A and B are shown apart, each in its own frame.
Chain A
Amino acid sequence: MAPPNPARTGVWVGIGAVIMSFAAYTSAMIVRQGTTPEWHHIALPPILYWNALVLVASSVTLELARQRIGGPFDRLGRTPAVQAAKSREWQFWYRITLVLSVGFLVGQFFAWRRLASEGVYLASSPSGSFFYVLTALHALHVLGGIGALLYALRCLHADDGPRSVNVLGAVAVYWHFMAALWVYLLVILALWI
């Protein structure tokens, strides 16, 4: 049994809460669709699919960075030169992750602009309402994730001991969940909205 790790437990519990809230939105959407005789489907902007790739890619690069940080114990006995080289490597992948994550949000912004240019606004149709609510709330959660990535980076710079590695592990779980949540939402949006 793994030793207790409150950061990881906390993230999983938090993910439980986020899942519940998106389940609530999803069921609200299904009920709402049932009460409307005509539910206008929206043609999703293609950029949403590219955004999904960007977010999944950021998950992969985050894992590449984490592999190069490793545990605090596997660096014991390495020479400072090897450590410095590894440090450059993880920081490279970490920066890529941050760039991709911001890129995702910018991409979502373009998707909203595209729909707005087609006359789909928050209040113009029920399907549009749910589109904006679901995507905006996901973006808000991603924004929180970027904050967490920056916080983990600060911890790693200050001290790359076990605590920082734990924090990063917890943030990574959340970040992967964000990608999974977006894939789920994309399926929901493509099928229902």
Chain B
Amino acid sequence: MDNVSASITELPPAAPHQHAAPDSFIRNYVFSLDHKVIGKQYLGLGLLAVCTGMFLSWIMRYHLAFPDKPVPLIGLIAPTFAAGGVITPEFYLQLMTMHGTIMVFFVLTTAPFAGFGNFVLPLQVGAEDMAFPRFNMMSFWVTFVAFAVLVAAFFVPDGPPLSGWTAYAPLSAVGKSSGPGEGLGQSLWVVSIAIFCIGQLLGSLNFIATTLDLRAKGMTLARMPYSTWAWFITSIIGLIAFSVLLPACVLLLLDRVAGTSFFIPAGLVVSDALQPHSGGSALLWQHLFWFFGHPEVYIAIVPGFGIISTILPAVCRKPHLGPRVLIACQLAIAGLSYMVWGHHMFLSGMSPMSATLFSVPTLIITIPAAIITLLWLGTIYGSKLRVNTAALFCLGFVSVFVTGGLSGFFLSQPSIDTYLHGTYFVVGHFHFVMGVAAMFGIFAGTYFWFPKMFGRMMNETLGKWHFALTFLGVYATFMPMHWLGLEGNVRRYSSFPSDYMHGSLALHRFITAAALFLGAAQLIFLVNLLWSRLRGPAAPDNPWDATSLEWSTTSPPPFDNFAGVHPVISHGPNEYGVASARGDYIMQTDPPSAAASSAVA
């Protein structure tokens, strides 16, 4: 590591800032080059997307609970798709497709990775901005256009596609004849996701170059905060994953508009019409999609790992247990994430041998995940926890991640997955491990970094109520889905009014009530965000007594992050529980002598 710091000292002094200070409203808030503004823009897009996605889920949940009753108000909002509020099976699938796509791409990818990563990463490594500010700006606006193109599918005659967020071919490839929304709606979906890939590739490129090249003097790799490590690892995963999804989208689009047959098999009859295609492989789409799709799970969750590992030592007031093991485990997860995609395809006619080859690494990947969880528990163990909202969401993250991870053991085994794959068990599993866990990471990050972002503290009382009700709502909503799955309740069906699943209706009603309750609890968060932004008490520079670089500058930071000062780093991010002039911690920018007089508590 000495080599690294030595080479940094040889740098030409104080290269000029990459871009000038913004001098107009447009440059400041719209086409901003500032990573902090771009981070907030991403978070804003995530907030808009999560509200949209959640609204769609309520319509689905209401219909599942009361399949015979029209959904209130929907007849007015969507008179063409749901006349009189009646949800057809096709419209249900369209809602489900859009819910999944919006949540996975525009919430779970944009907020924890692009949103917080953009705002915090350059601050944490001591850079004035990202390596390529113009690419960074393009990355956000490209993503925004992708969102607009996707939502536009609601406003075309046939509506959005119904092929699910995974857009399995040939359903997604043959066009209009395969169902409502499979015409223009599905084309918009493919174009939107392709554009989204370009945005995320630009973002990943920036994250990697910034982390490798723009670290402040003394910021060796070993001294990088855990959240920066997590975003760095995520950007590598994203770079590889989106580079594969983009070609898949190109080929799918060609099948749809240019008459090629990449994914459409010969002799396919859809809606009584023989399709003019030959010899394509529907499975090829699944392979390309899941080669992206499984790493995507880690794109959503690894930033959460980093956020939790950054917040936990600050609220526990002791060093994170096993910091190098923590990073090694995340690297192992990143590597293994490319060897497990086939476990999404156990039911695709895969040979038992192949299934075993995908099942074994799936089980192995739980080992680094379990080690990380144990490191968190070890860090919490015996600590004097400062119980604030960020800390509560960290604990909640550990809880929902473990709950979701445990059901993964069942699903990773082909013989058990054969029964459970098409059921609500899987819905419960991925909502816990990917959806809710990543959301808890987002919430923890919001409560933790809001003071730095806006210079105001969030309301802790509202925050704790938000946590308690959300935690309750999450378990009440998604836990019973495991039971439904074990009962054999199939997923992706719009209703179960008169068949063998009729007995599960009461439980569906309970889940719907819980989902609406969970949604209502989020109003507390929205009120807190708005109120704190406008009326919250002024935030000090370092409200959490944390060690990393972003807390050494003002709240909010100036345009060039450190007001022209080039920070010099003498410590790692893990110096908690040590006696120093500051109290029980040493900041990364403190002089080296601060460590000499310290004693480990």
Contact = CB atoms under 8 A, between A and B. Distances in A.
Contacts of A20: 239-240, 243-244
A28 B244 CA distance: 10
Contacts of B288: 24, 28
B251 interface: yes
A191 interface: no
A21 interface: yes
Given A4-B212, A10-B209, A129 B254 contact: yes
Interface stretch (A30-38, A58-66, A152-160, A180-188): A30-38
A25 B212 CA distance: 29
B243 A32 contact: no
A86 to B, nearest CB: 24
A18 to B, nearest CB: 8
A9 B213 contact: yes
A32 B282 CA distance: 10
Contacts of B499: none
A9 B209 contact: yes
Contacts of B10: 3
A16 B243 CA distance: 9
Interface in A102-135: 122-123, 126, 129, 133
A126 B246 contact: no
A89 B316 CA distance: 65
Contacts of A13: 204-205, 208-209, 239
A6 B205 contact: no
Nearest to B4: A1
A145 B208 CA distance: 21
Given A9-B213, A10-B131, A20-B239, A4 B11 contact: yes
B162 to A, nearest CB: 25
Given A14-B205, A24-B288, A28-B251, A5 B262 contact: no
A5 to B, nearest CB: 7
A92 B258 CA distance: 43
A122 to B, nearest CB: 5
A64 to B, nearest CB: 28
A36 B244 contact: no
Interface residues of B, number: 45
A137 to B, nearest CB: 8
B236 to A, nearest CB: 9
A17 interface: yes
B213 to A, nearest CB: 4
A21 B243 contact: yes
A9 B279 contact: no
Nearest to B248: A24
Interface string B475-486: 000000000000
B286 to A, nearest CB: 11
Given A16-B239, A31-B287, A35-B280, A10 B7 contact: no
Nearest to A1: B7
Nearest to A14: B205
Nearest to B201: A17
A4 B287 contact: no
A129 B262 contact: yes
Given A35-B280, A126-B279, A133-B251, A21 B205 contact: no
Contact of B205 (A10, A24, A123): A10
A3 B287 CA distance: 41
B48 interface: no
Contacts of A37: 279
B259 interface: yes
A31 B251 CA distance: 13
B281 A31 contact: yes
Contact of B260 (A10, A31, A129, A137): A129
Contacts of A21: 243-244, 246-247
Contact of B258 (A3, A5, A14, A122): A122
Interface string A50-70: 000000000000000000000
B209 A3 contact: no
Contacts of B385: none
Interface in B290-307: 291
B311 to A, nearest CB: 29
6 contacts: A4-B213, A20-B243, A24-B243, A31-B283, A35-B279, A123-B259
Given A10-B205, A37-B279, A122-B259, 18 more contacts: A1-B3, A1-B7, A4-B11, A4-B213, A6-B132, A6-B213, A10-B209, A13-B208, A21-B244, A24-B244, A24-B247, A32-B281, A32-B284, A126-B261, A126-B278, A126-B279, A133-B254, A137-B250
Closest 9 CB pairs of A and B: A20-B243, A4-B213, A123-B259, A6-B131, A36-B279, A24-B247, A35-B281, A1-B7, A17-B243
Interface of A: 1, 3-6, 9-10, 13-14, 16-18, 20-21, 23-25, 28, 31-32, 35-37, 122-123, 126, 129, 133, 137
